[in-house]
Amino acid sequence: MHDRLLKNSHHLPRSNFEQDTPHTLQRLHILAPHRKTKMQYPHLLDLPLEVYENICRRTTARGLRSLRQSSRDLHQMTEGVFIERHFSAMEVNLSQEKLEYLDRVSLTAKYAGEVRAIIIEPRRLKGYDIPVSSECLKKIENSWNFSNQGGDVTMLARILPRLANLERIQVAHYLDPRYFENHRLRPLRCDTTGYVVREKSTALSYAFSVVDRAMQRAGPTGIKTLRAGARPSAGQRNSIGHLSLERPLPTPVFATLEHIHLVLEITPGTFGGSGQTLLSDFLAQAPNLKSLRLEFWGSSGEWLSTTLNNLTFPQLETLHLEAARNLHAPQLRAFLSRHASALQALSVVNLTFANNDLLSTFPLIFKIPHLHLHAIRLQQIAARHIGLLLFDAQGVITTCEACKQDLDANWRFVPGPLCPRGNFEVTEGELEAARKLQEALGQMTVLPWSVL
């Protein structure tokens, strides 16, 4: 074959074929397209570490696990990404199996210090059909027995102090609406802590109660962020019931909390008359808050009346109020006055004020000495007996379809399309926020309910 190629290679320099050298054979292989050669691909180990870690971050969990099992070198190179993806924010539910896994992680010095967040997912019937099989029912029964005996509270309370760098606990929303619609957790009887979870308590409320009781039993920790609930989605509520805030005695375990985000509702089957007091007492145990976010989707009670009157957080920098009704403008102004020196960001979304003279009282909310906001967001704000506020109408009401949808959304207590005419947002800093806010308030008018 080499002789045949040599006869047809007159176009190459003669010096390349005077001797049968490795260089000669290499050129011959290039000239022979029908001859298969072994291609030399770059190895993963040859890539820069930054590129390799970026590839690993974009890989699925199963793909990353397979890659780690392929060689010792790759296992060592993926260690940082593996810890980041699997231990920095751990997602677990309150089953005995998952809590035992979290317990083993907390006992492993290599991984315990890497856990920054725990995301609690309420137990759900993932992978099972309804009606469920007898095997699944047995698993559910065992899970109920574990929770009824207080096993989840005990294990979580034992785990939390071991995670020295834990900063955030989040109670996630439902991922399977079938569980939400068809099942309720049984009452929890745990005499050692003084708590009783009502029969009407949903799994989301129950999970929050377990976290609350475990934090109290564990004692002071370094947790800075507590979040529970989410905005409703796909026709399902993602709120925690107000009875989940009930405590037998005040405790100082929330002293380290700096950020609280709660999505609340009246516990099904109750009147919710104690909701205001329970929320106020709950938040009073976190005096060092820097960020407070409260949402009340699906609740018609006057949640904020007692809360805003009774609470003061000297270090509060960010306040977000969403989906509340019957709020009085003077109450909000008094709350902002007590926090004017530290407050930097204010967000008021989908709120209905009880004031009939909102056009005159709403601007007074922001005329507070020493209040210097850097970021302001005002969206879907209405007066209970008048209508929706517009911030760029210049005294002339010319409605558009988006404005009508926002008005209807506020009436039905759901998010709207957020027409720019009825929504104001500025984040450019103190001077720009003050200038644009003054301009928006000067053009403010009301879109009446009668246009619906």
pLDDT in tens, 1-15: 445 444 444 444 444
Looking at residue 345, its pLDDT comes to 95
**Mind listing the pLDDT tens digit for each residue in 330-348?**
989 999 999 999 999 999 9
Whether residues 149 and 110 share a domain: the answer is yes
Whether residues 184 and 111 share a domain: the answer is yes
Range of the domain at 169: 87-251
**Mind listing the pLDDT tens digit for each residue in 115-161?**
999 999 865 444 444 455 677 677 767 777 887 888 999 999 999 99
In terms of pLDDT, which residue wins out, 303 or 353?
A: 353
Enclosing H/E stretch for 89: strand 89-92
For 135-146, letters b (16+ CB in 10 Å) and e give: eeeebeeebeeb
Whether residues 144 and 174 share a domain: the answer is yes
Out of 193, 221, 251, a domain closes at: 251
In terms of pLDDT, which residue wins out, 409 or 431?
A: 431
Looking at residue 339, its pLDDT comes to 95
> To which residue do tokens 């959304």 refer?
409
Out of 221, 236, 251, a domain closes at: 251
CA distances from 191 to 149, 198, 377 (A): 10, 14, 45
> Confidence class of residue 275 from pLDDT cuts 50, 70 and 90?
low
> Confidence class of residue 174 from pLDDT cuts 50, 70 and 90?
very low
Looking at residue 228, its pLDDT comes to 92
Share of the chain above pLDDT 70, in %: 74
Out of 216, 232, 251, a domain closes at: 251
Tokens of 398: 């010319």
- CA 57 from chain center: how many Å? 21
Helix (H, G, I), strand (E, B) or coil at 65: helix
Looking at residue 145, its pLDDT comes to 81
**Rounded to whole angstroms, how far apart are CA atoms 412 and 333?**
26
Whether residues 20 and 111 share a domain: the answer is no
Helix (H, G, I), strand (E, B) or coil at 180: helix
Helix (H, G, I), strand (E, B) or coil at 69: coil
Residues 6 or more apart in contact with residue 397 via CB below 8 angstroms: 390, 445, 446, 447, 448
Asked if residue 59 is part of any domain, the answer here is: yes
Looking at residue 136, its pLDDT comes to 67
Looking at residue 315, its pLDDT comes to 96
pLDDT at 226 > cutoff 50: yes
On average, the pLDDT of the chain sits at: 76
For residues 197-215, give the mean pLDDT. Answer: 75
Tokens of 337: 């006055």
Whether residues 133 and 17 share a domain: the answer is no
**Rounded to whole angstroms, how far apart are CA atoms 350 and 381?**
5
Side-chain-side CA neighbours of 106 within 13 Å: the count stands at 21
Asked if residue 320 is part of any domain, the answer here is: no
Whether residues 26 and 119 share a domain: the answer is no
Asked if residue 309 is part of any domain, the answer here is: no
Enclosing H/E stretch for 213: helix 203-218
Whether residues 177 and 81 share a domain: the answer is no
Longest dimension (CA), the chain: 103
For residues 283-299, give the mean pLDDT. Answer: 88
DSSP 246-305: --SS--GGGGG--EEEEEEEPPTTS--TTHHHHHHHHHTT-TT-SEEEEE-TT--S-HHH
> Confidence class of residue 175 from pLDDT cuts 50, 70 and 90?
very low
Which residue, 376, 388, 396, is CA-closest to 447? 388
pTM higher than 0.95, yes or no? no
Whether residues 99 and 244 share a domain: the answer is yes
**Rounded to whole angstroms, how far apart are CA atoms 250 and 284?**
9
Enclosing H/E stretch for 375: strand 375-379
pLDDT at 46 > cutoff 50: yes
Total tally of structural domains belonging to the chain: 3
Asked if residue 359 is part of any domain, the answer here is: no
Whether residues 164 and 73 share a domain: the answer is no
> Confidence class of residue 260 from pLDDT cuts 50, 70 and 90?
very high
Whether residues 142 and 58 share a domain: the answer is no
Q: What angle do CA 230, 231, 237 make, to 5 degrees?
A: 90
For residues 59-78, give the mean pLDDT. Answer: 78
